[in-house]
Structure 1
Amino acid sequence: MNRGLKQLLPTSRRLLNSRSNAIVSCAVRSARVSRFEQQRLFTQSVIRPISFKGIFGGKPANEEKKLILEQDNLFHVLSKSPLPEMRDRAAIINKYGVCPVCDTHHTEQEHKKKPVYDCPDCGYPTHCNEEHYHQGKEAHKETCAILREINEDDHDLRSGRPMREFEFPTAQGFDEAVNMANWDVLFYTRSFPSMDSDRSMRHVSKLLTYPLTIASVLHQASPYKYGEQVTAEGMRSIAALRTILYPHNQVTNDASSQIRTDTINVYLVGARAEATLPSHIWLQLAYLFPATPFHVHFIGPDALAPNQEPHTKSVNERLSFTYDNAMYHDYHEKIAKFDPFTDLFFMFSPGIGHEGARNSWKPSIEKALETKCPIFITGYDEADMKNDIEAVEQDYQGEFDWVMKPSVNEFRSLKRDVNMLDLRQSIFANYGIWAIRGKRYDVTHDPESNE
C-alpha cells in the first residue's frame, strides 16, 4: 500500500514566491486583515500543515521507484540538499524567518535580520551570520537536536526507499481484540508492520493521529477512563455512542451477516490537513468498528481546494465523506437533526483562543453546543490548550459540561513540526485533548412551587 510518500510538511514554491499567497493558503476570509492577523495566519500555515496532498501519489504503484538517498546519507544542509523540496524550505526560512540573536536584542523589526547562515549540526538556516551563530550557539543547542531529527526524517520520506511502515492492515477479524492503550500496543494488536525504528513510528503517527485520535475516545479499550480523564457527564455521552458502535443484536460473527447499525457522524469543524488525507488512512478508523458505518464531515474554509465544490463520496458501505467549505454555523442549518447517540464533533488544534480568531469561532461553537453532542478539541501543546480552554470558559460560562479533562493525547503525532518563521518553536500535532458538551439542564419538581 506504499503510495509514493513524498512529503509531510507543505513546502510549496507558492509560499516562497509571495507572502500574500501564504496568507491566502490559510483561508483569510476578510478583505482587510490586520498585520498582526496576517502574521498569525501565516505562522499557522507553516507550523500546522494545511494539506497532506503530495504525501501520497506520484508514480504508479507498479512503477519501480528510484532510490535517491541511502539510509546512511540522510543528513544534508537544507540549502544544499539534493531534494528541491528541502531547498525550497531553506529559502522560505531565509525569506520569512528571523535570527534569534537579533530577535532577542532588538525590538524594531528593521533591525531583525533574516537567517541565512546554515548551522552545520542541524542543517537549518538559523542565524543571520556566523558571528551571531556562535553568539547564540549555547541557546541553539536546545533546538539543534530537534531540527536535525526533523531534517533526517524529511529526507528519509523523500529518499525513495520502500516505505514498508505504510503497508497498513486491512479489516480485522471479529474475534480479534484490539488494545488502544498507546501507539505501540495498538500496532501490535492490530498487526501493523513491525516498526523497526523510532523514525518509522514518527512517520506513521504523523498520518494516523487524526483517525486514531477519534477512535481512541470511542473505542471500548480507550486509554481514557471514567473518573480519571472522563467525567460523569462525559461517560454518559461516550456510553450513548458506544451503544451504536457495539450492537448486541449480532446474527453471527460473519461480517457478511452482521446487522448494520445507525451511522456515526463525525463533524470535523475547521478541517484542514485532515481533509486531504487519502481514504485508506481514514479506513483505519472504520476497521476498528466493524459493525458500524461512519460518515465523516469535513467542514470549514480549508476543507476544499479553491476550485472544488462541496460534495459527498462513499469509499464503501462503511465509510463516506462530505466536504464543505462553509463555516460550520452555516453548515449546521443543513442538518435536520442531531442525535447524541450517533453524532460527535472534533476540532483539531482550532486556535479558539487566538487573538483575531476568537470572535469568528463563536457562532460555530454556539451551534455545536446546542446539539448537546460531545465536542472533542485538541491542542498542539499545553499553552495552546490552556489558551483555548480559557477562551471557552470565559465565552460560554455556564453553557457547557465537561466531557473530558485536558489530557495528553496517547495518539498524538510523534513527529515534530517546526515553525519556519521561528525555528525555536516546534509542536506535536494533536498533543493534548479535552472535550465539552452543551449543558443539559435537569428538570426537577419543587412541591413548594405549587403553593
Structure 2
Amino acid sequence: MASRLRPLVPALRAIPRTARLASIQSPAVVARRSLSLKSFFTTRKPKSDPFTSQFEPVLEPANLFHPLSKSPLPPIRTKAEWIGKHGNCPVCKEHTVEEKKAPVFECPDCGYPTHCSEEHYHMDKENHKHVCGTLREVNEDEHDLRSGRHLKEFEFPGPQNRDEAINMSNWDTFLYTRGFNSMNSERSMRHVSHVLTYPLTIASVLHQASPYQLGKDLTVEGLKSLAALRHTLHPPVLPGLTQSQDLRVKATHTVRIFCLGARAESHLPPHIYMQLAYLFPATSFQLHFIGPDAIPPHTKSKESHQHVHYEQLTFVYDNSRYEAYHAEAGPFNPYYDVFFLFSPGLAHPATKDMWKPTIPLLLDTKCAIFGTGFDEQDVMNDVNEIDSAGYELDWLMKPRENAFRSLKHEVNLTDVRQSAQCNWGIWGIRGRRYDVKSAE
C-alpha cells in the first residue's frame, strides 16, 4: 500500500499549499460563493500566480478618508468634478443670490464639496453638521470599496441544508443563520446590505420565515395572497423524506417575479440572486426585469429582449414599457406570479404619468404587488397617490420600514444635503376580489 501511495507525494508537493487546503475544506466552506468586486474598483493588474492574493491594496484601512478632489482614486475625483459643475451651494440657493456659484469648497471634516466658498461654508456650518457625519461615512465607504483589499464580506454562502432554520428578523440574524462571514464592522454590513437589498427584500416578503406579521404589518388579504404564493414556494416534503434529511428536491414549480421600471436591480450579476433561490430550493424562478433601463450586467448587446439562464434562475430583460409586455406575459396566476416595484416614483412629477396605464393592468391580474421607496416621504407620496386614484384594490401590507433596506446612504450629487437608502420602506396592494355569496 505504501508503495502505491508514494508516487502521489511529489505530485501533492507540486500543488500550491492554498490549493491543497481548499481540497480538504468542509462542504459548507467549499459551497461558499465568492463575489469579487475588485474587477470593478481596483486599478492594479492581477498577479500571475492564481493561488496568491491577486491584488495589492491601494489604500490601507486607516487611510480611507480623503477630500474627493484629492482622492488617489480617479473615479472619486471625477465625482468631485461633477458636483463642482452641477451641484448647488446651499447658501446661494436659499438666499436667492443672483449669481449662484457651484460648490467647490470641500468640508475638511467630510471631504465633500459643499459650498461655493469658505465664507459660505462657515455661514452654513451649523446646518451642515447635521449631514457631515453621513457624508464622511459615504466618503470612506467609497474609498474602502475601491481600496483593493480582499473583500471577505462578499464571499457568500451556497445552498442551505434543509434542517437549518433561517431567521429573517433583520440583517444580523439572517446573515448569521445563513452562514455568512462575520461582519466585523458596520462598513462591511453596509456593503453587503447594498448588494443584497433587492433579492432579500423579495425573499423577506415571500418566505415563510418573513418578519412581516398579520395585524402589525400584513392585512388579512395580504396573508391570503402570501399564503397562495408560499403554497408554491414551500411544497410539502416528499413521502418517505423527513426535514432532517439533507436531500435537495429538484425544482418542480416556476414562480415568476416581475420587476417593473427596473434599474439597478437588473444590473446585479445573476449569482447575487442565487441568495434568493437558495431560500427556496424546491422552486425555480423567472425574474422579469421590464423597463427602458433593464439591461443585463456586463453586456454591450442592444437587443430589446434577452434571456439569461443561471442554475435554477431564468432572467428576462425587456426594454419595453409594461403596457406592451402585459399581453405577452399573461395569463397570470396569484399562486405563481408576483410584482415588485422598486422605488417607482408613482407620485413623482417626472414619472407619475408613465405609471397611470400600468397600475390598472397590474390590479387586473389579482396578483400581489409590492413597492418600495427610498425614504418615508417617498413611500407616503406613492401610497397617497394610489389612495387618491380611486382604484379598486385591497391593501396587503401597510407602509412600513423595510427590514432588508440598504444600510448604505446614497448622496444626491446635485444637493449633497440630501441622501437616501435604497428600498427604505415597503408596501403592498392587490386588485380587489369579491366574495360570491349565494342568495338566500
Q: TM-score, normalised by structure 1?
A: 0.84
> Among 252, 270, 290, which residue is 1:299 paired with?
290
After TM superposition, list the pairs within 5 Å mapping 1:254-273 onto structure 2.
Answer: 258=249, 260-273=251-264
Give the Cα–Cα distance (whole angstroms) in 1 for the partners of residues 295 and 422 of structure 2.
21
- What is the correspondence of 1:106-145 to structure 2 with a 5 Å cutoff? 106=96, 110-145=98-133
* Structure 1 residue 201: Cα displacement: 0.2
Q: Secondary structure of the equivalent of 1:72?
A: helix
**Conservation of the 8 A alpha-carbon contact between 2:163 and 2:246:** no
1:425 corresponds to: 418
Q: Secondary structure at the match of 2:224?
A: helix
| Alignment match, 2:94 | 104
Matched, 1:411 2:411: no
The offset of 1:227, in angstroms, is 1.2
Deviations along 1:379-414, one digit per CA (max 9) or x if unpaired, are 00110011111111112x241100000011010000
Where does 1:50-61 land on structure 2 (aligned, <5 Å)? 54=40
Counterpart mapping for 1:183-262 below 5 A: 183-251=171-239, 252=241, 258=249, 260-262=251-253
Distance 1:354 1:142 in 2: 26
Structure 1 residues 437 and 58, CA, compared in 2 at 3 Å: closer, same or farther? farther
The change in CA–CA distance for 1:364 and 1:56 in structure 2 (over 3 A counts) is farther
SS of 1:204's equivalent in the other structure is helix
- % identical aligned pairs: 54
Deviation for aligned residue 1:357: 1.2
Query: Which amino acid letter does the alignment assign opposite residue 206 of structure 1?
Result: H
Q: What CA deviation, in whole Å up to 9, does each residue of 1:262-307 have, x standing for no partner?
A: 2111000011001010011100000011111111111110002784
Equivalent residue number for residue 82 of structure 1: 72
Q: What residue number does 1:325 align with? A: 319
Name the amino acid aligned to 1:95.
Answer: K
* One-letter amino acid matched to 2:429: I
Question: CA offset at residue 2 of structure 1?
Answer: 4.7
The structural deviation recorded for 1:58 is: 9.4
**Post-superposition offset of 1:112:** 2.1
1:390 equivalent in alignment to 2:384: yes
Cα contact 1:249–1:259 (8 A) shared by 2? no
CA offset digits 1:27-68 (Å, max 9, x no partner): xxxxxxxxxxxxxxxxxxxxxxxxxxx479997794711210
Q: Aligned-pair distance for 1:356? A: 2.8
Residues 349 and 378 in structure 1, CA contact (< 8 A), matched pair in contact too: yes
Q: Is the 8 A contact 2:251 2:281 kept in 1?
A: no
- Deviations, residues 321-358 of structure 1 (Å, cap 9, x unaligned): 10101111111111231000010000110111001311
Shift of 1:259: 5.2
Determine the C-alpha separation between the residues in 2 that align with 1:416 and 1:132: 25
Between structure 1 and structure 2, the one with the greater Rg is 2
1:4–1:56 contact (8 Å) kept in structure 2: no
Determine if contact 1:263/1:294 at 8 Å carries over to the other structure. yes
Q: Extract unaligned runs of 5+ from structure 1.
A: 8-53
C-alpha deviation, 1:113, in angstroms: 1.3
1:168 shift after superposition: 0.3
Paired position in structure 2 for 1:11: none
The alignment yields a C-alpha RMSD, in angstroms, of 2.0
Question: Contact 2:42–2:147 (CA<8 Å) still a contact in 1?
Answer: no
**Equivalent AA in structure 1 for residue 310 of structure 2:** V
Q: Kindly state the Cα deviation for residue 6 of structure 1 after the two structures are TM-superposed.
A: 5.2
User: For 1:76, what is the secondary structure of its paired residue?
Assistant: coil
Q: How far apart are the structure 2 equivalents of 1:336 and 1:194?
A: 43
Name 1:40's counterpart in structure 2.
none
Quote the Cα distance in structure 1 between the aligned partners of 2:73 and 2:408: 20
Q: Secondary structure at the match of 2:356?
A: helix
Contact 1:353/1:388 (8 A) holds in 2: yes
Change (3 A) 1:409 1:55: farther
Q: Supply the AA of the counterpart residue of 1:229.
A: D
1:335 aligns with 2:329: yes
Cα distance in 2, alignment partners of residues 162 and 324 from structure 1: 35
Could you say if the C-alpha distance between residues 60 and 367 of structure 1 is closer, same or farther in structure 2, counting changes exceeding 3 Å? farther
Could you list the runs of 5+ residues in structure 2 that have no partner in the other structure?
A: 1-32
Letter in 1 for 2:364: E
Q: TM-score, normalised by structure 2?
A: 0.86
The equivalences for 1:348-359 within 5 A come to: 348-359=342-353
Q: 1:58 to 1:268 in 2, by over 3 A?
A: farther
Contact in 2 for aligned 1:402/1:437 (Cα 8 Å): yes
Distance 2:358 2:203 in 1: 24
Question: Could you tell me which amino acid in structure 2 is paired with residue 195 of structure 1?
Answer: M
Q: Alignment partner of 1:111: what SS? A: coil
Which residue number corresponds to residue 274 of structure 2? 283
Say how many residue pairs are matched.
397
Match for residue 7 of structure 2?
none
Q: CA deviation at 1:158?
A: 0.4
Q: Equivalent residue of 1:406, what SS?
A: strand
